[in-house]
Amino acid sequence: MATVIVVTSGKGGVGKTTTSASFAAGLALSGAKTAVIDFDVGLRNLDLIMGCERRVVFDLINVIQGEAKLRQALIRDKRVENLYTLAASQTRDKDALTREGIGAVLEELAEEFEYVVCDSPAGIEKGALLALYYADHAVVVTNPEISSVRDSDRILGVLASRSRRAEQGDTPVKEHLLLTRYDPARVSTGEMLKVGDVEEILAIPLLGVIPESEVVLRCSNLGQPVILEEKSNAAQAYRDAVARFLGQEVEMKFLEQERKGLLRRWFRGAA
Amino acid sequence: MSITSFFRSRRKDKQSAETARDRLQIVLAHERMSVNGDDFLPRLQREIMAVVVRYVDIDPSQAVVKLEKDGDLSTLEIEVTLPKADSLGVQRVAS
């Protein structure tokens, strides 16, 4: 049986798709066959972030409606072995997404795949509800910013009441907090919520803290998951988060402002 | 920018993250209660009024029940407007 992970947040623009791409790539790099599915029907973007937009022939809705085989719609990643993308439909109506249809797709994926990462749209409408319905794990992507934290709290309420696990009285969906766009310099001057504050308010285990990074925009320009960057704090933080998800103990990095920068600036000034 | 204004701006910024945290804690306490407790206040109000009406002749629509939450402290406020003293047997006995 495949493990289903929903990447969700309630609020838009906090890094769900960036996280879905990197998380799925990280799981695939660990050797597990992984599929990442875009649930944002009408506003698909995962294909761009994965860099496979020109290879989309069939999408999730085509598969649900029986117009294409799952095998035809899965796009094999050119960089990472074991990694496949399933795009959302850009033109079709959201109503084509059904609970039964998604259930059937996930069941078929489970025959081959170890992990299925569901990239949720923003909001708490149909697409978001279906993305989280079958989840075993939820990665709640949150920015250290007041409206994002509130929306994350709301989505945690939805997970606890409207997921399949909740409806069937199963063990609850396992929740993980992933704090993104964290800026230790601004935290140290008191301009930004501390990781501890967000943890305390949302009261779910912390999976990782991704520092604010220029690399994220660069990777989105290039169509490449952030985690594949060699020398980047954000990439390292994603690798650590995936390792923690897989049960390893890794200490949290990049929570403090880097002092090296200042020293380097001094030396550069002296030279 | 002078040194004092530099420090002043730092101090003001320090407050903004704390303000964010405090505001979040309050708003979420409210929202979590209304989601889980799904509006028990109207029922509470009806039941309290049923009891009060047994003793005092009041207009149930003149009652207000409010629940306020501020950090760790929740206040349940029940405000009942009593009619004039001469129609209040209970109050005369008590005084």
SS (H, E, C) A157-168: HHHHHHCHHHHC
Higher pLDDT, A121 or B41: A121
Q: Given an 8 Å threshold on Cβ–Cβ distance, is B21 in contact with A192?
A: no
What band does B74 get if pLDDT is binned at 50, 70 and 90?
confident
Separation CA A51–CA A144 (nearest Å): 28
Residue in A66, A18, A16 with CA at minimum distance from that of residue A221: A18
Partner-chain contact B24 A189, CB within 8 Å: no
pLDDT at B15: 73
A91 secondary structure, DSSP code: S
Signed CA dihedral, A24, A27, A30, A33: sign only: negative
Q: Check A201 against B31: CB less than 8 A apart.
A: no
Q: What are the angstrom distances between the C-alpha of A243 and each of A92, A199, A205, A212, B20? A: 37, 20, 15, 20, 31
Residues A128 and A134: their CA atoms lie apart, in Å, by: 11
H helix or E strand, kind and range, residue B17:
helix B3-36
In B6-85, at which residue ranges do the beta strands (DSSP E only) sit? 63-70, 73-80
Q: How many CB pairs below 8 Å do chains A and B form together? A: 41
Determine the pLDDT at residue A116. Answer: 98
Q: Which residue of A145, A149, A151, A179 is the best one to mutate when testing the B interface, meaning the one whose CB has the most B CBs within 10 A?
A: A149
**Percent of chain B's residues with pLDDT above 90:** 9
pLDDT at B83 over 80: no
Is the pLDDT at B3 greater than 70, yes or no? no
Position A92 scores a pLDDT of 79
Q: What phi and psi, each to the nearest 5 degrees, are found at residue A210?
A: -100, 120
- pLDDT tens string B13-26: 457 999 999 999 98
Alpha-carbon gap, residue A218 to A232, rounded angstroms: 11
Does the pLDDT value for residue B95 go beyond 50?
A: no
The residue written with tokens 């594949």 in the block is A228
Distance from CA of B43 to the nearest CA of A (A): 23
Q: How far, in Å, are A49, A237, A247, B45 from residue A82 at the CA level?
A: 17, 22, 20, 60
Taking the CA of residue A159 and the nearest CA in chain B, the distance in Å comes to: 13
As a whole number of angstroms, the distance between CA A7 and CA A149 comes to 15
Dihedral pair phi/psi, residue A205, rounded to 5°: -65, 140
Residues of A engaging B, defined by a Cβ cutoff of 8 Å: 145-146, 149-150, 153-154, 157, 187, 189-194, 197, 201
Put simply, the answer to whether B21 touches A201 (Cβ < 8 Å) is yes
What per-residue confidence (pLDDT) applies to A172?
Answer: 96
Residue A260's pLDDT is what?
58
The per-residue pLDDT for A265 is 60
Q: Read off the tokens for A124.
A: 């708490």
At A74, is the secondary structure helix, strand, or coil?
A: coil
The verdict on a CB contact (< 8 Å) between B25 and A150 is: no
Distance CA B13, CA B6 (A): 11
Q: Under a CB-based contact definition with an 8 Å cutoff, are residues A22 and A46 in contact?
A: no
Q: In angstroms, rounded to a whole number, what is the distance separating the alpha carbons of residues A60 and A68?
A: 9
pLDDT of residue B13: 47
Query: Is residue B1 over pLDDT 80?
Result: no
**Terminal C-alpha separation, chain B:** 68
What is the token pair recorded at A173?
A: 């969906």
* Residue contact A190–B28, C-beta within 8 A: no
Give the C-alpha separation, A200 to A202, whole Å: 6
Do the Cβ atoms of B17 and A149 come within 8 Å?
no
What does the alpha-carbon distance between residue A51 and residue A75 come to, in Å, rounded to a whole number? 11
The list of chain A residues with pLDDT below 50 reads 269-271
Residue with tokens 């990095």: A253
Whether the CB-CB separation of A157 and A166 falls below 8 Å is answered with no
CA–CA separation, A42 and A251 (whole Å)? 39
Q: How many CB atoms lie within 10 A of CB A180?
A: 25
Contact assignment for A189 to B13 by CB distance below 8 Å = yes
Contact A254, A187 (CB under 8 A): no
The predicted pLDDT at position B35 comes to 57
- Residues of chain B neighbouring A201 (CB-CB closer than 8 A): 21, 24-25, 28
pLDDT, tens only, A96-115: 899 999 999 999 999 999 99
In this predicted structure, the answer to whether residue B90 has a pLDDT above a threshold of 80 is no
Separation CA A163–CA A150 (nearest Å)? 19
**At A194, which amino acid appears?**
K
The residues that bridge with B79 in the sheet, in sequence order, are B64
Q: Please report, as a single letter, which amino acid is at residue A236.
A: Q
Average pLDDT over chain A reads 94
